[in-house]
A and B are shown apart, each in its own frame.
Chain A
Amino acid sequence: MFRAIFQQYEWAAVKQSIYDKTAADVERALSRSHRDLEDFKALISPAAAPYLETMAQISHQLTIKRFGRIMQLYIPLYLSNECQNICTYCGFSYDNKIRRRTLSAGELLTEVGAIRQMGYDHVLLVSGEANQTVGTDYFVKALQVVRPHFAHIAMEVQPLDQEDYELLIGEGLHTVLVYQETYHQEDYKLHHPKGKKSNFGYRLDTPDRLGQAGIYKMGLGVLIGLEDWRTDSFFTALHLQYLEKTYWRTKYSISFPRLRPHAGGLTPKVEMTDRELIQLICAYRLLDEEVELSLSTRESPVFRDHAIRLGITSISAGSRTNPGGYAVDPESLEQFEIHDDRSPALIAEMIRRQGYQPVWKDWQ
């Protein structure tokens, strides 16, 4: 279990060791062919800032070598905004007075139709955490509705038990995204004061449960802005390496959600600049040639247009982050504000202009 490894690390010491990295450490990391976690620390450290262009060049080349000039497109489909958790940063938080909705089978099918229309052959199902109404039973039904229409189905919902995952995999689930939000245990408590999500350990063990269930792909990440992003990213990379070694049949992806304004209104504790986000994306690619890196519509059009050449392998487009947002109830409140609201067709055009081929389903 990753937990045993995680417990050997102390946040403050890790943070210090990242900030202690020097230009020599960065140069060493850049010149190696296989990089380890110490190299990763150097590449995400402040000392690497002057080397950003070199990192970008290497990241660009490595990504093309492994993935080709291909950009995968994905789209979230929000099943429900019901949630029993209080998360200080989220519009769906239990203490936010918003209208709650969970899609019925019929509504789901309507949304599926709208997404198919845009060209997608790949969907990401999303929900809050309301285990009574939107639990494993609901997900089974949702998969049964969705499965005939998509080649690849991913999910970003509450953490579940291994048996639940096994059941859902049997119903056609390929990928599960579960973000730790932060690996800083005390801060995690502060941001998740109530609900099942406040159990840090259960969430931390989730990738192990997924691995044991034999999932095809899983996605990791932290919510950037809750804590020092460099330290949190180190722990993500540590987690990733452990998982790659232990559940080696599984594929992995990393996401980089940055905190953005929403109805609840949490200002990020730590700001991450655009430069730093590019640095982080490149550092991941330099650490790991195989991992998929994905970027959501939280980011601005100009940022996304450039980032796709720097290591990113999948981006979303045309996203709505409210249940029913595509056809059933377009006006309801979104989970987070979309920064890039260009249509999938426009995004595909932008991708083609840069010499890449947009792919509408998960690359298999």
Chain B
Amino acid sequence: MAYIPERTGGSLLRGKISGLNFITKDDAPLNHLQQVEAACRAGIRWIQLRMKLADDMTFRETARAAREICEAWGCMLILNDRVELAAEVGAHGVHVGLQDMSVAAVRRLLGEEIIIGGTANTVEDIRRHHEQGADYIGLGPYRFTDTKKNLSPLLGLQGYRRIMTQLREEGIEIPVVAIGGIERGDIKALIDAGVAGIAFSGLLVRAKDWESTVRSLGQEIDDARDMLTIGDKTFCSRLFTGTGKFGSSGVMEDALLASGSELVTVALRRVDVRKTGMTGPAGNGDDLLLHLRHPHMHLLPNTSGVRTAKEAVFAAELAREALETHWLKLEIHPDPRWLMPDPVETLLAAEALVKKGFVVLPYIHADPVLCRRLEDVGVAAVMPLGSPIGSNKGLKTQDFLEIIIAQSRVPVVVDAGIGAPSDAAKALEMGADAVLVNTAIAASPDAIRMARAFRLAVESGRMAYTAKLALPSVEAVASSPLTKFLE
């Protein structure tokens, strides 16, 4: 797995860090390797190997074997301390405690390509780790446990809230994983406080049935994180973006990083398919794509420019080949002036592409019946327009969007026409699952700042939706003409 952390963007692990982490435990019913195996099998994708009692020899052997198991399951393996063994074992990362080597020293030793996590108990700890280039923080302990022998002060929920607020105020963006004696009932409050994930040790080691425990914990965390699932992917960010109309690729990259977006649409016609994109060695790839090489960013090729279903299918297959993704934003607009999507060709193409195994996200009019027809043929989401593309006019189709949202069986992504962050917030408040914004960010004189504004607006709109908006109060009815007969 090519995993290249990006330290300047700050939020690189945002979409990537697993919400549910497991830390192996000494003196448990299963030995460390058995724990790794059980965790992988149960669905955990982020494991920290923590063997405080073992000598280097034993640790090395165990870590090697653990690495193999993790490889097979696609799980990240992080070593607790033992920095010098990380490269040899081939671990994805190391985690250093407060008494261990500093993050800066580890970074010098192991280079840019390794994930480094640091234990923290205070804001100062986090600040220091962050400045030294840590990728994530393990913040704790939450409550008393027997895992940590030299205990720092217990944080409790109040401690987490205080520290997370402080980080936000200082603008420090780094994924924080809560750790230390966390029980099932703590999950929602911790996630609400702002942590990205939760590390379990004792709770899992004690579990009789790992699989069902992991499933229910994971479900609870995902619910609390309010993730969006489309097809085979899960997103933290509900802001989808595009690559068009930016002043330069550099600005584009910074703006997209600032937006926190995890799904970026790329016009196939803008990608030079002769130079293969993402997987080729650096320098050999397409210039545009080089700027999108961030682990949390998924590409969504679009068929912009095609005019018929037939052309769309052809373009989709090209995109799958060139960009190695079966995700596709289906756009068919034969009319070059307004770029209005053609509903008939779109439905035909969607049906054909779903059959070919594509995850299809069609761009369409805010037409409730068309949405249902598209759902019937198996699209992964629908992308109705808010107003004419590039017009920045906002949600002119609001009434129709409301119907679509109310009856849709797949996620609804409002696409096109969103001109201001308030439009995006409005869409999310209405219950749209996500928005796609391109022009409004790209064409802003300060695209990076605008990207951040959209990110905050989308988060705020979604938060308002889940918190349930207050509504105009009900007017009292004085007389009772309709129900008097019941008295």
Chain A contacts to B: CB under 8 angstroms = 27-28, 30-32, 34, 51-54, 56-57, 60, 244-246, 248, 274-275, 278, 302, 306, 309-310
Residue of A nearest to B431 (CB): A34
Q: Is the CB of B471 within 8 A of A28?
A: yes
Q: Is the CB of A309 within 8 A of B482?
A: yes
The complex places the Cα of A310 from the Cα of B484 at a distance, in Å, of: 12
Q: What are the residues of chain B within 8 A of A309 when measuring CB–CB?
A: 482
Q: Is the CB of A310 within 8 A of B482?
A: yes
The complex places the Cα of A306 from the Cα of B486 at a distance, in Å, of: 9
Nearest 10 CB-CB pairings of A with B: A31-B471, A56-B482, A53-B480, A30-B474, A306-B485, A275-B486, A56-B483, A53-B483, A53-B477, A248-B372
Q: What are the residues of chain A within 8 A of B345 when measuring CB–CB?
A: none
Task: Tell which of B406, B474, B477, B483 touches A27, judged by Cβ atoms closer than 8 Å.
Answer: B474
Q: Is B407 an interface residue (CB 8 A)?
A: yes
Q: Is B445 an interface residue (CB 8 A)?
A: no
Q: Is the CB of A28 within 8 A of B468?
A: yes
Least CB distance, B375 to chain A, in whole angstroms:
9
Q: What are the residues of chain B within 8 A of A306 when measuring CB–CB?
A: 482, 485
Additional pairs, 18, CB under 8 Å, beyond known A31-B471, A310-B483: A27-B474, A30-B474, A31-B472, A31-B474, A34-B402, A51-B474, A53-B477, A53-B480, A54-B474, A54-B476, A56-B482, A56-B483, A60-B482, A244-B407, A274-B486, A275-B486, A306-B485, A309-B482
Q: What are the residues of chain A within 8 A of B477 when measuring CB–CB?
A: 53-54, 57
Chain B's interface: helix, strand, loop or mixed, by majority?
Answer: loop
Q: Is the CB of B473 within 8 A of A27?
A: yes
Q: What are the residues of chain A within 8 A of B485 when measuring CB–CB?
A: 302, 306
Least CB distance, A20 to chain B, in whole angstroms:
16
Least CB distance, A240 to chain B, in whole angstroms:
13
Q: What are the residues of chain B within 8 A of A53 when measuring CB–CB?
A: 477, 480, 482-483
Q: What are the residues of chain B within 8 A of A310 when measuring CB–CB?
A: 482-483
Least CB distance, A161 to chain B, in whole angstroms:
23
Least CB distance, B370 to chain A, in whole angstroms:
12
Q: What are the residues of chain B within 8 A of A246 when measuring CB–CB?
A: 409
Q: What are the residues of chain B within 8 A of A32 when measuring CB–CB?
A: 471
Can you give 19 A-B contacts (C-beta < 8 A)? A27-B473, A27-B474, A28-B468, A31-B471, A32-B471, A34-B406, A52-B486, A53-B480, A54-B476, A54-B477, A57-B477, A60-B482, A245-B408, A246-B409, A248-B372, A274-B486, A275-B486, A306-B485, A310-B483
Classify chain B: how many residues form its interface, as a range.
10 to 19
Residue of A nearest to B408 (CB): A245
The complex places the Cα of A244 from the Cα of B368 at a distance, in Å, of: 13
Q: What are the residues of chain A within 8 A of B402 when measuring CB–CB?
A: 34
- Considering the complex, which residues of chain B in the window 459-487 have a beta carbon less than 8 Å from any beta carbon of chain A? 468, 471-474, 476-477, 480, 482-483, 485-486
Q: What are the residues of chain A within 8 A of B468 when measuring CB–CB?
A: 28
The complex places the Cα of A280 from the Cα of B353 at a distance, in Å, of: 45
Residue of A nearest to B405 (CB): A34
Q: What are the residues of chain B within 8 A of A245 when measuring CB–CB?
A: 407-409
The complex places the Cα of A56 from the Cα of B406 at a distance, in Å, of: 23
Q: What are the residues of chain A within 8 A of B472 when measuring CB–CB?
A: 31
Residue of B nearest to A52 (CB): B483
**B471, B473, B483, most chain A CB atoms within 10 A:** B483
Q: Is the CB of A248 within 8 A of B482?
A: no
The complex places the Cα of A244 from the Cα of B483 at a distance, in Å, of: 30
The complex places the Cα of A57 from the Cα of B480 at a distance, in Å, of: 9
Residue of A nearest to B406 (CB): A34
Residue of A nearest to B373 (CB): A248
Q: What are the residues of chain B within 8 A of A248 when measuring CB–CB?
A: 372, 407
Least CB distance, B400 to chain A, in whole angstroms:
13
Q: What are the residues of chain B within 8 A of A302 when measuring CB–CB?
A: 485
Least CB distance, B119 to chain A, in whole angstroms:
39
Q: Is the CB of A278 within 8 A of B407?
A: no
Least CB distance, A295 to chain B, in whole angstroms:
15
Q: Mark B396-424, 1 if CB is under 8 A from A, else 0.
A: 00000010001111000000000000000
Least CB distance, A340 to chain B, in whole angstroms:
15
Residue of B nearest to A273 (CB): B486
- Considering the complex, which residues of chain B in the window 168-195 have a beta carbon less than 8 Å from any beta carbon of chain A? none
The complex places the Cα of A275 from the Cα of B472 at a distance, in Å, of: 27
Least CB distance, A321 to chain B, in whole angstroms:
26
